Amino acid sequence: MKIILFFLALATLTNCKPKLATEEATAYTLSDTMMNRISIDTVTNQPVRSEITLVGKVVADENRVIKVFPLVGGNVEDVKVELGDYVRKGQTLATIRSGEVADFERQNSQAQSDLLLAEKNFRVAQDLFETKLNSQREVTSAQKELEQARAEVSRIREVYQIYGVGKSSTYTVKAPIEGYILEKNVNRDMQLRSDNTDNLFTVGQISEVWVLANVNESDIGRVKTGMAASVQTLSYPDEQFRGRVDKIYTVLDPNTKALTVRIRLDNRAMKLKPEMHATVTLRYEDGGQMATVPAGSVIFDKSRHYVMVFRSRSDIETREVNVLKSIGNVSYIQSGVKPGDRVISKNQLLVYDALND
């Protein structure tokens, strides 16, 4: 009886082994739905890069910014623009009623009268010379007085053009270029002194802006002109603005021991505003190449890193990898995968959980 039971048990075990092997071989196969939800990327060799993160701020291009100063003192009658307004070249920004402008008008009237008198005296001198009642010397003297009167009228006309004044005592402040009002230091009824040294407005074009960022002394040797830079702001945290290092300043801040670098950015979308806080990332090459995978494909579990190596929908391997570092959306892999391997880079956690539960 014992012998019969032994042979029955042996036959049962023999019949079960192929069945378990078959179940294990077909334990997990990606469905059509899951295949549509995942993404697969190929492992590639790339130059090893590092990055420096800097803190800075957005500023207007100094070559496209003009400060507008008052050329006369007086009382501000009207201000036509507000901070942030877009203005065109020649547009009126403010009007000032000024005693100095009134004096220009007095000088102009006097110069015009002197010119009329000089012209009359010159004609009389010529007529008398023709009748031999005076000498050539008197004609020459009258001609010099006429030239001086004309010069004075021209001088007053130039003053009018420079100051932008007309035949009234009002001085008009106009925009020297088209752009945005970046600074406004004047209000209606403000009294301006003739020796005022403060600008009334700052007008700037911001279709192209700068980002000034501070580089720590230890990183100065890694920063080069022309380096690619990506900039992020608090206002647009999910958007990266691309530019390049345009200038490296040669003087360190004595207080922070930091060096300032300038990044030039295209701003035709007008999203970047002067004085915005900015985070700048500069990337540089360390030398050599290494296998890389998308950073999103790496799974961290139980203090180790894994990737899901895809061969077919029924042949997927959980493989441990040694990650050197991750820069942006790229992870550098020291060991575990080789160029040409394919890894799941989207929804890989679902596959990982299904295979390793």
pLDDT of amino acid 17 = 41
Measure the CA–CA gap between 82 and 203, rounded to whole angstroms: 11
pTM assigned to the model = 0.63
Rg (C-alpha) for the chain, rounded Å, is 40
The CB-side HSE value for 184 (13 A sphere, CA atoms) comes to 17
The CATH class of 99-168 is mainly alpha
**Cβ atoms 214, 249 nearer than 8 A:** no
Task: For residue 132, give the 3-state DSSP assignment.
Answer: coil
Dig out the tokens for 109 from the structure: 């009237």
Q: Rounded to an integer, what distance in angstroms lies between the CA atom of residue 292 and that of residue 285?
A: 14
CATH architecture of the domain with residue range 52-62+205-287: Beta Barrel (2.40)
For the domain bounded by 70-97+170-203, which CATH number is listed?
2.40.50.100
What is the tens place of the pLDDT at every residue in 221-243?
889 999 989 999 999 998 999 99
- Checking if the pLDDT of 101 tops 90, the result is no
Residue 125 φ then ψ, to 5°: -65, -40
Distance (Å, whole) CA 267 – CA 35? 40
Lowest mean pLDDT across 19-23, 103-107, 211-215: 19-23
pLDDT digits (tens, 9 = 90+) for 62-89: 899 999 988 788 899 999 999 989 999 9
Selecting from 3.40.50.300, 3.80.10.10, 3.30.70.3290, 2.40.420.20, what CATH number does the domain 29-48+288-356 have?
2.40.420.20
Where are the chain's structural domains?
29-48+288-356, 52-62+205-287, 70-97+170-203, 99-168
Predicted confidence (pLDDT) at residue 19 exceeds the cutoff of 60: no
